[in-house]
Amino acid sequence: MVLEVLEFGFMQRALMAGIAVAITSSVIGLFLVLRRNSLFGDAMSHIAFGGIAIGLMANIYPLWTGLGLSILGALGITKLRQSTKIPADATVAILLSSGLAIGIMLVSVSGGFTLDLFSFLFGSILLVSVNDTLAILALTGIILTIVILLYKKLVYITFDEEQAQVSGLDISRLNYLFVVLASVAAVVSMRLVGILLVSALIVIPNVTALLLGRGFKKTMLISVSVSIFSVVAGTIVSYAFNLAPAGSIVLISAATFVTALAIRFSRQKEKEAEIKA
C-alpha cells in the first residue's frame, strides 16, 4: 500500500513538504512551548489569513503575502511587549482576532470563499503544488540553518532570558529574529494542516516529547520523530480512507500524546510501588 502511494507525484510532494513542515514546526515549537508562548503560532496563522486573502484578491502568490503580514504581526507583538505592560497572552489574542477579522472582511468583499482560500483555512497537503513544495523546502532550510547557527543563544534566552542579557547577549535582536522564524514556521505549517490547526502541529508533538524526553536535545529529537510520524501516517491514512488530511494528522499526533501520557502515568505508578515496597 505504502509503495503504491509513493508512485504518485502528488503524494511524493505531499510527503516531502509534510516532513519539512514537521521538522520546522517541532524545532520552533519546542522553543515556543518552553517560553510558555504556545499560542503564538495560532496567532500568526490567523494574521496570515488576512495576508492570504489579500494575495488571492491581488493575484499574488498567497504564501508570500501571508508570510509578509505574519512577520509584521510578529514584530508588532514583540514591540508591544517590550514597550508596554500588556500581558503576552493579551497581545497574542488581540492580533489573532484582528488578523482573522481582516481575512473575513476581505472574503466578504470578494464575494465569499474561493477554493484556494478554503484550502489554506483547513489545509490541503494532498494538493500541494510544485511551487508550494519548493517554497516550503526553501523556507525550512533557512529556518533550520539559522536555528543551528544560533542554537546555544536561543536555548540560553529560552531558559533564562535575564541571565542571558547580563552575560552580554542582545536579547532584543534575538527575540525579534526568533519571532520572525516562528511566524515563518507557522505560515509554512498552515499549508499542511490549515490555519485552524497550526497550533496543534506546533504544540502537541512537543508536549508529547516533554513527557518522555530528558534534556533539551533528546526532547527535540523525540518531538521531531513524533511530528514526522504523525504527518506521514496521517497523510497515508487520509489517502487510503478518503479522510481530511489535516484532521488525520492532528488526531494521530493527539493519539501519540495520549499514549505518552499513559506511559508516563504507568512509570510513576511503578516508581510509587517500588518506594512502598
Topology of the domain comprising 2-276: ABC transporter involved in vitamin B12 uptake, BtuC (1.10.3470)
* Mean pLDDT score of the chain: 82
Higher pLDDT pick, 120 / 148: 148
Higher pLDDT pick, 44 / 85: 44
Domain extents in the chain: 2-276
Q: Which of 175, 186, 172 is nearest to 70 (CA)?
A: 186
Q: What percent of the chain has pLDDT over 90?
A: 21
Q: Give the end-to-end CA distance of the chain in Å, rounded to a whole number.
A: 49
Does residue 140 carry a pLDDT above 80?
yes
The cell for 171 is 536579547
| 117 confidence band (pLDDT: 50, 70, 90) | low
Residue written as cell 499549508?
191
Higher pLDDT pick, 90 / 204: 204
What is the per-residue pLDDT for 5? 63
Q: 63-97, pLDDT tens digit by residue? A: 788 888 888 888 887 777 777 777 767 777 777 77
Residue written as cell 520552533?
28
Q: What is the rounded average pLDDT of the residues 39-66?
A: 79
Does residue 229 carry a pLDDT above 90?
yes
